Each structure stands twice: as C-alpha cells, then as structure tokens.
C-alpha cells in the first residue's frame, strides 16, 4: 500500500502523537509499504517521503501550542492534494485544518481514509486551566465529533478513550490498538549517573504540563519516610518546568530535569528504581509502557480519565488520583520491599511483550486493509 499520514506536527520529539506516528510509519515501511508524511515538517527518512507544508505561526496560538510540543501546519492545498492522489489510504492523526481538508479531498477522489483519536479535550483545556469544567471538555468532544464521524474507521489507543468516544456520540467503528513499544526498549545493565548513585531514582516521562501532575510526585516524595534517599527524575519539557523547580527547592536531592534522545532515555529508564505516572488525563502513555518494558515497576494514577491504569497488575501499582499521601505510601512500599519489586519487574517484562510495536503495527495495517475494503464496497 501507499499509506499517507496527515499530521500537523511530525518531527517534534516531545510530542507523543508525533512519536507514535513516526514509529508506526517506520515499522509499516519495514513491512514493505510506501509511506508518505504530510506535515509542517517531515525530515527525510529511509523509505518515507515527506511533504513539508511549513509552520502556521498564528499569533498567540503558535506560542501556546509550541510550549506544549505541538505546531500547526500551513494548509498547502496543492501539496496535500498531490500526496493524497498517490495514496491507497490516507490516515489523519488530529482533527485540525489540514486534516479536515485532506478528508474533503479523499472523499472527492474516492480515496479510502481513516483517522486516529490521540488528543483528549483535557490536554487542551489543561493548558488554559479549564480542565475542571466538564462542559468545556464536552464541547470539544462535540466539535471533534463532526470530523471523526465522517470516517468509518477510527484508531483508539485504549479502551478508556473508546468508551469516552462512545459516550460522546461517536459512531465510527472504533479500533482499539496500542501505540506499542519499539524493540530498542529492553532491560540492560547501566551504571547510574554519579549524582544519582546510592539514590532511589523515581522517574516520570511526560510533558511538563498541568494535567500530567508532576506536582503530585514532588509532594509525595516530601511526605515519604525515605525522602532523603529519593532522587526525582522528570524526562520531558514543557511550560510548567519553573513551577516544578520551585516546588522542589526544599527537597534533599534537587529534581533532575532532562530531555533525552531515544538511546539516552533507554539508559535513564534502566537507571530508575521506580516509575510513577501521575497524570489525571492520558489516552495511553508511551513513557509508562517504555519503562515497564525495561522492567521498571510502575505506580499509576487511578484517574478515570487516564487509560494508563490499565497497565496496573494489582493495587500495588495504583494510587488514588490527586492524592499525594496515597502515592507516598506506594513509594514507601516499593522502597522497603526490593525483593517484591524484583519479582514484579520480571512480571512486567513478560507482560510488556503484547505491546511490542511489531504486533500493534500489524493491527493498524489490518485496520487500513479493512478501511480500503469497505471503501471499495461503497464505491
């Protein structure tokens, strides 16, 4: 197949949607498909053709979205149409201007199309501090629905978000397919950084953003019985870094902030003693999957708007969302029970195998074939 991905922001390393799209694109290219990327910027890659639309720099919107690791693409109609006409299927990753135009062109020329739901309304409303207002989130679901209900097939990374879409009136066939984890993520022996030696390293991989709740980890460590022995590591970048730095000023061990390449991140994960995913809202959480694939035991928020808690093997891997005392108790348990942690680590390495990207890319490929087949029926 010639598979065309339409995505505003493709080459932003801190963007989870971009990361999963790049990995799927590379894996599908390995399967023998011809891949096209239509985006603001699509760097040259083996077996992948990029159509560079340029960045849309609408004042304020550009600055706010850029701080969250997202850029909007210019709607270069000529390039979008050129890519689509060469396609066997077009897959839209977000519901914005270039994707809406792409869907219009697909329908005009009878080219099969599908979409993916990767962007929770809470990801948007948290940026403007309106995430607590359910009516605002419902409104965004309704706005997005006009776009997604035009597709027969929609990829959902988790059952949680599938449930949210059904609840909000989405009528497409919803395919639950994990974003998957690359083969490069695995347990390995790594010597801890000098400044982390003899410390119990707690890691979270995520944008430094309001809804990710890194603040809970800081508060939990402050209330841990073992605060003096704990090193917090936040892998990511985002607009609330300064706020988190200020929160952590009275910790015995200063918080370590870093943004890492994939190979560096694999090393950092393997230096960690515990992984915490504190988000209130999350469609899946690639970072958490990468961590437990390497055998790092996770402790995850039980928020009903976070799909990440599906990865908890039992209650010892969960804490009450928004409750730093509950999180502190779980941190202290795993700190004080290293033998239990080692057993759980091995369980997670085995559990992670079903989320390998070789399997999940095959499932996405099957969805594309089904979308093409159904499109031909209607034609």
- Nearest CA among 280, 314, 320 for reference residue 297: 314
Residues 322-340, mean pLDDT to the nearest whole number = 98
Helix axes 159-167, 134-148, angle to 10 degrees: 90
Cβ-based neighbours of 242, under 8 Å, separated by 6 or more: none
Per-residue pLDDT of 69-78, as tens digits, reads 778 999 999 9
Residues 342-369, mean pLDDT to the nearest whole number = 97
Residues 200-209, mean pLDDT to the nearest whole number = 95
Per-residue pLDDT of 89-138, as tens digits, reads 999 999 999 999 999 999 999 999 999 999 888 877 766 666 666 888 89
Does the pTM surpass 0.85? The reply is yes
Q: Check: CB of residue 347 under 8 Å from CB of residue 87.
A: no
Q: How far is 353 from 44, CA to CA, in rounded Å?
A: 30
pLDDT band of 14, cuts 50, 70, 90: confident
Secondary structure of residue 302 in the 3-state scheme? coil
Q: How far is 255 from 155, CA to CA, in rounded Å?
A: 37
Q: Check: CB of residue 36 under 8 Å from CB of residue 83.
A: yes
- Nearest CA among 25, 35, 24 for reference residue 2: 35
DSSP string of 18-73, one letter each residue: HHHHHHHHHHHHHTT-EEEEEES----BTTEEEEE--B---TTHHHHHHHTT--PB
Asked if residue 184 has pLDDT above 80, the reply is: yes
**Buried (b) or exposed (e) across 9-28, using 16+ Cβ within 10 A?**
bbbbebbbbbbbbbbbbbbb
Q: Which two tokens stand for residue 189?
A: 């022996």
Q: How many CA atoms lie within 13 A of 182 on its CB side?
A: 18
Q: How far is CA 35 from CA 20, 94, 372, in A?
A: 15, 18, 16
List 356's β-bridge partners, or say none: 181
Per-residue pLDDT of 254-287, as tens digits, reads 999 999 999 999 999 999 999 999 999 999 989 9
Q: Check: CB of residue 330 under 8 Å from CB of residue 300.
A: no
Backbone Cα Rg of the chain: 21
CATH architecture of residue range(s) 2-180+356-378: 3-Layer(aba) Sandwich (3.40)
Residue range(s) occupied by CATH 3.40.50.2000 in the chain: 2-180+356-378, 194-354
Which of the listed CATH numbers 3.90.1580.10, 3.40.605.10, 2.30.30.190, 3.40.50.2000 matches domain 194-354?
3.40.50.2000
């Amino acid at each position: 197949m010639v598979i065309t991905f339409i995505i505003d922001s493709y080459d932003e390393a801190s963007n989870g949607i971009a990361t999963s799209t790049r990995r799927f694109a590379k894996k599908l290219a390995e399967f023998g498909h011809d891949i096209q990327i239509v985006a603001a910027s699509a760097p040259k890659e083996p077996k992948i053709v990029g159509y560079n639309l340029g960045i849309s720099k609408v004042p304020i919107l550009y600055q706010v979205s850029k701080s969250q690791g997202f850029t909007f693409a210019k709607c270069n109609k000529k390039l979008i149409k050129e890519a689509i006409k060469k396609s066997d299927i077009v897959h839209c990753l977000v519901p914005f201007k270039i994707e809406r135009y792409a869907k219009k062109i697909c329908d005009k020329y009878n080219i099969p199309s599908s979409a993916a739901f990767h962007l929770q309304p809470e990801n948007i409303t948290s940026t403007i501090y309106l995430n607590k207002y359910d009516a605002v989130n419902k409104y965004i679901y309704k706005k997005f629905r006009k776009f997604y209900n035009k597709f027969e097939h929609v990829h959902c990374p988790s059952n949680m978000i599938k449930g949210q879409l059904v609840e909000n009136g989405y009528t497409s066939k919803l395919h639950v397919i994990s974003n998957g984890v690359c083969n490069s993520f695995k347990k390995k022996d790594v010597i801890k950084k000098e400044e982390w030696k003899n410390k119990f390293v707690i890691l979270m991989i995520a944008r430094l953003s309001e809804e990710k709740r890194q603040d809970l980890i800081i508060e939990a460590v402050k209330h841990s019985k073992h605060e003096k022995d704990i090193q917090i590591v936040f892998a990511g970048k985002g607009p609330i870094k300064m706020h988190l730095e200020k929160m952590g000023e009275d910790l015995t061990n200063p918080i370590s902030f870093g943004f890492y390449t994939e190979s560096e991140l694999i090393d950092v994960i393997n230096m960690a003693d515990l992984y915490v995913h504190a988000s209130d809202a999350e469609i899946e959480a690639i970072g958490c999957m990468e961590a437990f694939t390497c055998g790092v035991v996770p402790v995850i928020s039980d928020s009903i708007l976070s799909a990440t808690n599906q990865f908890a093997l039992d209650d010892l891997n969960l804490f009450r969302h928004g409750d730093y005392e509950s999180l502190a108790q779980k941190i202290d348990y795993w700190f004080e029970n290293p033998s239990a942690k080692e057993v759980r680590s091995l369980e997670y390495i085995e559990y992670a195998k079903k989320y390998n990207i070789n399997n999940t890319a095959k499932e996405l490929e099957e969805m594309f074939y089904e979308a093409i087949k159904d499109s031909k029926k209607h034609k």
